[in-house]
Amino acid sequence: MKIIEGSASKKISNDLSKVLNVSVVKLERKRFPDGELYVRLMDDVSDEDVIIVQTTFPDEKIIELFLLMDAVKEAKANSITVVAPYFGYARQDQKFKDGEPISARAIAKLISLNTDFFVTVDPHKEYILDFFDCEAKSCSAVSAIAEHLKTKDVDMILAPDKGALNRAKKAASIIGCDFDYMEKTRIDGETVEIKPKNLDAKNKNVAIVDDIISTGGTMAKSIQQLKKNGANKVFAACTHGLFAKNAVEKLKSNGCDEIISTDTIENDFSIVKTATVMKKILSNQSL
Ligand code: R5P
């Protein structure tokens, strides 16, 4: 087995090579004068089971993934597993308005062309795995996030909406603390409304746990409610930290004490590692 490190997922690739005890393939990667990407495998992968690790965000990383997949196929690997720690476009998982694409399906179909097995972490909705024509599985980073939160003296986990309730319940059971949820309505891509709610948060340290922080709007509204209800420290924790636009500033200015995300998207807050949660699914896979 060999690992190919996509440029969006260098740290996870390295961690996975350690936990799976497999080597990372050397790559040449450069840009043509017009900006197009060039990749070349510098090690032999013929007859190998190859794992390509690449978060499909931002868009240019999707192109890189397709080039890597094609190079591996050309090199006559035995099998190709694509690990997309964060599967971008997953939230456009249906047509919300006439004329729209189902973007998650469009990307999934293209990945499936050269892939035997697809793995991702905490997809926004599990059913997007059905869009793949190859075998596709997900694993959850909630336990890794909860283990990290255990060091923070957290009294309560809050789900910012009902969709995140199971995640909050699981984290709370690992930590051994209470949990609650908010009721959110999404107005548009950048605006959410959260119903005022009395939360038993007075003097408590609360961690809000969600799958994604994008604009930070969902977290910011939840933090406001917690502060109104007298919360002490507030942690904003997520699997995928996109931090679009001024999200970090928004969280901090609303009173967030600490931002925590996993390494599915590498950034300043990605301190929770996910390689071990992927290990089981990858080593059990008989290729
Ligand atoms: C939505 O259902 C997701 O679980 C997240 O709550 C959402 O994607 C976060 O987006 P934003 O940070 O822009 O509010």
Residue from 162, 211, 221, 240 whose mutation best tests the ligand 1 pocket (most atoms within 8 A of CB): 211
Cβ of 160 less than 6 Å from ligand 1: yes
Residue from 165, 212, 215, 242 whose mutation best tests the ligand 1 pocket (most atoms within 8 A of CB): 212
pLDDT digits (tens, 9 = 90+) for 172-214: 999 999 999 998 888 887 788 887 788 899 999 999 999 999 9
The answer to whether 143 and 277 are in contact (CB under 8 A) is: yes
Residues 6+ apart with CB under 8 A from 4: 13, 24, 25, 27, 41, 45, 50, 51, 52, 53, 68, 72
The pair phi, psi for residue 7, each rounded to 5°, is: -70, -15
Give the number of C-alpha atoms closer than 13 A to the C-alpha of residue 131, restricted to the C-beta side. Answer: 22
Q: Which residues are catalytic?
A: 184
Give 19 Cα–ligand 1 centroid separation in angstroms: 31
pLDDT in tens, the chain (287 residues): 999 999 999 999 999 999 999 999 999 999 999 999 999 999 999 999 999 999 999 999 999 999 999 999 999 999 999 999 999 999 999 999 999 999 999 999 999 999 999 999 999 999 999 999 999 999 999 999 999 999 999 999 999 998 899 999 999 999 999 999 998 888 887 788 887 788 899 999 999 999 999 999 999 999 999 999 999 999 999 999 999 999 999 999 999 999 999 999 999 999 999 999 999 899 876 44
Residue nearest to atom 7 of ligand 1 (CA): 212
Cβ of 208 less than 6 Å from ligand 1: no
Give 248 Cα–ligand 1 centroid separation in angstroms: 14
Give 217 Cα–ligand 1 centroid separation in angstroms: 7
Strands 49-53 and 2-5: parallel
Q: What is the pTM of this model?
A: 0.95
Residue nearest to atom 5 of ligand 1 (CA): 212
Residues 6+ apart with CB under 8 A from 118: 81, 82, 83, 84, 108, 111, 112, 129, 132, 134, 135, 136, 137
Tokens of 171: 């984290």
Strands 27-31 and 23-24: unpaired
* Cα 147 from Cα 157, distance rounded (Å): 13
Tally of CB atoms within 10 A around 68: 27
